[in-house]
C-alpha cells in the first residue's frame, strides 16, 4: 500500500520533465494514468468477503512512528473516491486548462494532494496521519493560489491555510495526549483501550482538540468561512478538493475516532449540534449567493454539516446514512462543480444574474445539471441517489429522543425540525441553481463569450458522475453489501448486517412526510424568493465571520509589526543583548524548576596543578584586558592569548585532537583579523550611560555564571550512564580503532562528520562565488 500512497509524489518529480512536451501532448494525459492505476488496484478489494488488510513499513521505530497502513471498509471507500474522482478531475482538466497555463505546477500540486489524502485515510499511526494531514493543507494552499496573480486567489489560499493549519495543530495536541494515555501510536491500539480513554480526566480536552481539527478541515460552522474563498481555485480543484476529498478529511477523522468517543455524551452534543447548525446556516446562505461556485460552496458546507450531524448521532442507522451520503454527495456535487466550470468556460462568467436560458444552447450540460441539482435537493424520484440518503437522514433524526437526558434530550427533540428547515433551503438553492442558469430569459448580451455547448471531452467526467447518480438511484443497494456495509462496520468497529435501502415506505413514514414538507415549502419559497430575500439584510445583515477573521488577522499583523519594530532597530548590540538575556532567563528558569542546580557536587574532580592555575590566570587577565585596550593590533593579540590558552588546557587534559583543532582555528582567526586589519574600525572609548554599563555588566556576569553552573551541573548529573563508557567499551570492537575520538568521528558519527564537511564545502563554494562575482564587477 505504501506504493499506492507514494507513487503520486514520486511521479510529481517527473511532471516538470513531461510538461516540456505540453505543446504536443497535454501533461494531464500522462498524469491521468496515476489515479486510474490506483483506482484499479483498490477496486479489486470490493466484495462481500472483504476483510481488513494491514501493512507496516519501519520509519522511526524508536519513537513508535512507522508507516502503518490499514485498509478497512471506511478507508477503502475514501481511497476509491480519492482515486476515482481524481481520475475524472484530471481528465476534465485536460480540456479545462489550456496548454499555455503553468501545467507542471498544477499537476505537481494535484499529485501532492492526492498522495496526502491517500496517506490520511490509510494511516493507522496517528503521527503519520498528522504528517499527511498537514501536507493536504500545504498542497491545497498551492492549488487554491494557483492563479497567484489574482489578489483573491492569494487571499483564499492564505485563509484556508491559516484556518486548517490551526485546526491541524490542535488535532496534534489531542493525538499526543491519546498516545501518552494509551502508550501506543496506533489508532487500532487506541480503540482497543476505549475504557482507559473514557475514564481519563483529559477526555474533554482530547475530544475538543481533535474536533477542532475535524471542524476546520471540513468547514464546519463557524470555521466554514475559508471554503467560499477557496472557490478562487480552478474548477477542477474545486470539484476535487472541495466536494469529494479534502473537505471530507474532517468527516473521515470523526468517523475513524468515533468508536473511542461515541460513549461520551458530549461527543453527541458537540458533533450533532455543530453539524446541524452547519447544515442550516450553509443552506440558508447558499440562496444569497450570485456566483455559481459560491452557491456550490455553501451547498458543500451544508451537506458536510448533514454528514457530520449523522456521525454525531452515533446510531448504526445514522452512520450507514452518513456513509451512503458521502458516496452520493461525491457524485452529484463533483458533477455540479464541473458543470459550473463548463458554464464559466463557455460563457465567460459565473454570475447567475447574467445567466439564463442556456438549456437550448447547452442541452447536454443542462440535462446533466437536472440530475445533479434535483439529486442534491433530495427530490423523491427513484433515479436520484440523493433522495435515499436524505430519507435515511430524516429517519435517523426521528430516533434520537429516547437516548439522552438534559441538554442532549433537548437537542434530540430540536434536531428533526432543524433538519427539515435546513433541507427546505437545500431544495431552494438547488432549484435556484438550475432554473436560474438554464431557464428564463436569455441574457447573452451580458456574456463575455457567445455561449455554446462544451466539447465532448469536458462533458465525459460529469456524465460519468451523473451516471453514478442514476445507477445508485435505480439500484440503491448495488454497493451496500460489497462496500457501504464494510465502511459502516469500519466506523462502528464491529461487523454489520446488510442494510436494505427502500424507495417506498408508505405514507405513514415520518421521513417521507418530512420530505413532502421540504418539497412543498421549498417550492413556495423558491417561487417567492425575490419577495423574502431582503431578510438577508437582517440576518446576517452586517454581521459576518469573515469580518471577524479579517479584523483578527489585521490585529495580529499590527501587534506583530509593533513588537518587531520595537526591537528591530538595526543595532547588533541590542540584538545580542536580547538573545543573551533570553538564553540566561530561559536556561536558569528550566534549571531551577527541574532541580538542575540542586545536585551540584565537587567530588571526583581532577587535581589542579600550578600550571593549570597559571594558564587560567593568564587567560582571565587577557580577557579583562580586552575591555580596556584601545589599540587594534594589541586587541587581536590579546584575544589570541585567550584562544591559545584554551589549546594549552586541552593539551594538559590529554585531548591533543581538540588542542590541534583549537590551535588551527585560533591561528586562522588571527590571520583573518590581520588580513582585514586595514578595514577594521578605529577603537575609541565609548561614552556610555550608567544604565547601559550596568546592563552590560549584568548580562556579562549572568552569562558567565550560567556557563559555569551549567558545567558544574553537567558534571554532577547522574540521570543516566555516561556515554563515554559505551565508547570506551565498543570503539575497538565496532570501529576497529584504538583512537576513540577517530572511531566516533569516522564510524559512529560518520554521517554527522560527512554533513559537517558538506556544509563547510558549500560555504567555501559560496565564498568563492562571491569573490568571483566581485572580481567580475571590478572588471
| Residue 336: strand, helix, or coil | helix
> Rounded to whole angstroms, how far apart are CA atoms 305 and 313?
12
> Rounded to whole angstroms, how far apart are CA atoms 536 and 520?
22
Enter the pTM of the model. 0.83
Averaged pLDDT, groups of 10, the chain, 779 residues long:
90 86 79 95 92 90 88 95 96 90 91 96 95 95 93 94 96 96 94 94 96 96 94 92 85 96 93 97 95 95 96 93 95 95 93 93 95 94 90 92 72 94 96 94 87 92 96 92 93 85 82 93 95 91 88 94 89 90 92 80 78 90 86 86 90 84 88 83 76 88 90 77 80 82 82 87 89 73
> Rounded to whole angstroms, how far apart are CA atoms 461 and 472?
17
| Residue 91: strand, helix, or coil | helix
| DSSP H or E run through 53 | strand 53-60
Torsion sign (Cα): 213, 214, 215, 220: positive
Question: Would you state the cell numbers that stand for residue 335, as one nine-digit string?
Answer: 458533477
Asked if residue 540 has a cis previous peptide bond (ω within 30° of 0), the answer is yes
| DSSP H or E run through 60 | strand 53-60
Partner residues linked to 640 by β-bridges:
none
Q: What is the 3-state secondary structure (H, E, C) of 145-170?
A: CCCCCCHHHHHHHHHHHHHHHHHHHH
Instruction: Please report the pLDDT score of residue 105 as a whole number.
Output: 92
Q: Measure the CA dihedral 108/111/113/118, to 10°.
A: -160
Residue burial 147-170, b: 16+ Cβ < 10 Å; e: rest: eeeeeebeebbbbbbbbbbebbeb
Report residue 499: phi and psi, to 5°: -105, 115
Instruction: Please report the pLDDT score of residue 365 as a whole number.
Output: 95
Instruction: Please report the pLDDT score of residue 403 as a whole number.
Output: 55
Which residues, 6 or more positions from 692, have their beta carbon under 8 angstroms from its beta carbon?
none
> Rounded to whole angstroms, how far apart are CA atoms 658 and 647?
8
Instruction: Please report the pLDDT score of residue 595 as a whole number.
Output: 78
Instruction: Please report the pLDDT score of residue 401 as a whole number.
Output: 63
Amino acid at each position: 500500500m505504501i506504493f499506492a500512497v507514494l507513487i503520486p509524489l514520486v511521479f510529481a518529480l517527473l511532471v516538470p520533465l513531461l510538461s516540456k512536451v505540453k505543446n504536443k501532448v497535454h501533461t494531464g494525459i500522462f498524469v491521468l494514468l496515476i489515479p486510474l492505476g490506483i483506482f484499479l488496484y483498490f477496486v479489486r478489494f470490493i466484495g462481500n468477503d472483504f476483510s481488513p488488510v494491514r501493512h507496516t513499513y519501519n520509519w522511526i521505530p524508536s519513537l513508535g512512528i512507522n508507516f502503518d497502513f490499514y485498509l478497512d471498509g471506511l478507508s477503502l471507500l475514501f481511497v476509491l473516491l480519492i482515486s476515482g474522482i481524481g481520475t475524472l478531475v484530471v481528465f476534465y482538466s485536460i480540456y479545462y486548462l489550456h496548454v499555455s497555463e503553468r501545467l507542471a505546477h498544477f499537476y505537481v500540486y494535484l499529485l501532492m494532494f492526492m498522495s496526502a489524502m491517500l496517506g490520511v485515510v490509510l494511516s493507522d499511526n496517528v503521527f503519520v496521519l498528522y504528517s499527511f494531514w498537514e501536507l493536504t493543507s500545504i498542497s491545497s494552499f498551492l492549488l487554491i493560489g494557483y492563479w497567484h496573480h489574482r489578489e483573491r486567489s492569494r487571499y483564499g489560499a492564505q485563509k484556508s491555510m491559516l484556518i486548517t493549519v490551526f485546526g491541524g495543530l490542535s488535532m496534534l495536541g489531542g493525538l499526543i495526549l491519546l498516545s501518552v494515555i494509551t502508550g501506543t501510536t496506533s489508532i487500532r491500539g487506541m480503540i482497543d483501550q476505549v475504557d482507559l480513554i473514557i475514564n481519563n480526566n483529559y477526555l474533554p480536552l482530547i475530544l475538543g482538540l481533535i474536533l477542532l481539527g475535524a471542524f476546520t478541515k471540513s468547514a464546519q460552522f463557524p470555521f466554514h468561512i475559508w471554503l467560499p474563498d477557496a472557490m478562487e481555485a480552478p474548477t477542477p480543484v474545486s470539484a476535487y478538493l472541495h466536494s469529494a476529498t479534502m473537505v471530507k478529511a474532517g468527516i473521515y477523522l470523526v468517523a475513524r475516532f468515533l468508536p473511542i468517543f461515541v460513549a461520551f455524551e458530549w461527543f453527541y452534543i458537540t458533533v450533532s449540534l455543530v453539524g446541524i447548525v452547519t447544515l442550516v446556516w450553509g443552506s440558508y446562505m447558499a440562496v444569497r449567493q450570485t456566483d455559481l461556485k459560491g452557491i456550490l460552496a455553501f451547498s458543500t458546507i451544508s451537506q458536510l454539516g448533514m454528514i457530520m450531524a449523522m456521525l454525531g448521532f452515533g446510531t448504526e442507522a445514522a452512520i450507514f446514512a452518513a456513509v451512503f451520503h458521502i458516496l452520493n454527495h461525491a457524485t452529484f456535487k463533483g458533477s455540479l462543480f464541473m458543470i459550473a466550470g463548463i458554464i464559466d468556460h463557455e460563457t465567460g462568467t459565473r454570475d447567475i444574474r447574467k445567466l439564463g436560458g442556456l438549456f437550448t444552447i447547452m442541452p447536454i450540460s443542462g440535462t446533466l445539471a437536472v440530475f445533479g441539482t434535483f439529486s442534491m435537493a433530495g427530490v423523491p424520484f427513484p433515479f436520484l441517489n440523493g433522495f435515499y440518503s436524505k430519507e435515511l437522514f430524516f429517519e435517523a433524526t426521528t430516533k434520537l429522543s429516547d437516548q439522552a437526558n438534559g441538554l442532549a434530550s433537548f437537542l434530540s427533540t430540536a434536531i428533526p425540525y432543524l433538519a427539515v428547515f435546513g433541507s427546505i433551503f437545500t431544495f431552494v438553492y438547488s432549484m435556484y441553481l438550475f432554473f436560474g442558469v438554464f431557464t428564463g430569459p436569455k441574457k447573452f448580451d451580458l456574456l463575455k463569450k457567445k455561449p455554446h455547448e462544451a466539447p465532448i471531452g469536458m462533458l465525459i467526467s460529469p456524465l460519468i458522475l451523473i451516471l453514478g447518480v442514476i445507477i445508485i438511484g435505480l439500484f440503491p443497494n448495488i454497493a451496500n453489501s460489497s462496500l457501504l456495509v464494510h465502511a459502516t462496520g469500519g466506523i462502528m468497529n464491529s461487523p454489520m448486517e446488510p442494510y436494505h435501502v427502500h424507495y417506498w415506505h408508505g405514507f405513514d413514514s415520518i421521513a417521507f412526510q418530512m420530505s413532502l414538507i421540504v418539497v412543498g415549502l421549498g417550492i413556495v419559497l423558491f417561487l417567492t424568493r425575490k419577495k423574502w430575500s431582503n431578510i438577508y439584510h437582517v440576518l446576517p445583515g452586517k454581521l459576518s465571520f469573515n469580518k471577524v477573521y479579517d479584523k483578527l488577522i489585521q490585529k495580529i499583523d499590527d501587534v506583530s509589526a509593533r513588537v518587531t519594530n520595537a526591537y528591530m532597530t538595526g543595532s547588533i548590540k541590542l540584538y545580542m543583548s536580547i538573545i543573551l538575556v533570553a538564553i540566561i532567563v530561559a536556561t536558569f528558569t528550566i534549571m531551577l524548576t527541574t532541580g538542575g542546580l540542586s545536585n551540584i557536587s565537587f567530588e571526583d574532580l581532577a587535581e589542579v596543578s600550578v600550571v593549570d592555575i597559571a594558564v587560567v590566570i593568564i587567560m582571565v587577565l587577557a580577557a579583562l584586558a580586552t575591555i580596556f585596550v584601545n589599540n587594534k593590533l594589541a586587541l587581536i593579540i590579546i584575544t589570541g592569548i585567550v584562544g591559545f590558552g584554551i589549546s594549552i588546557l586541552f593539551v594538559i587534559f590529554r585531548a591533543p585532537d581538540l588542542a590541534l583543532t583549537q590551535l588551527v582555528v585560533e591561528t586562522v582567526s588571527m590571520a583573518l583579523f590581520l588580513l582585514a586589519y586595514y578595514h577594521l574600525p578605529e577603537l575609541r572609548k565609548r561614552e556610555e550611560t550608567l544604565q547601559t554599563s550596568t546592563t552590560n555588566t549584568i548580562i556579562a556576569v549572568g552569562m558567565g555564571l550560567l556557563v559555569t553552573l551549567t558545567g558544574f551541573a553537567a558534571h554532577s548529573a547522574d540521570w543516566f550512564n555516561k556515554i563515554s563508557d559505551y565508547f570506551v567499551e565498543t570503539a575497538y570492537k565496532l570501529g576497529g580503532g584504538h583512537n576513540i575520538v577517530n572511531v566516533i568521528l569516522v564510524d559512529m558519527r560518520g554521517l554527522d562528520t560527512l554533513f559537517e564537511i558538506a556544509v563547510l564545502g558549500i560555504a567555501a563554494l559560496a565564498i568563492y562565488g562571491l569573490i568571483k562575482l566581485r572580481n567580475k564587477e571590478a572588471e
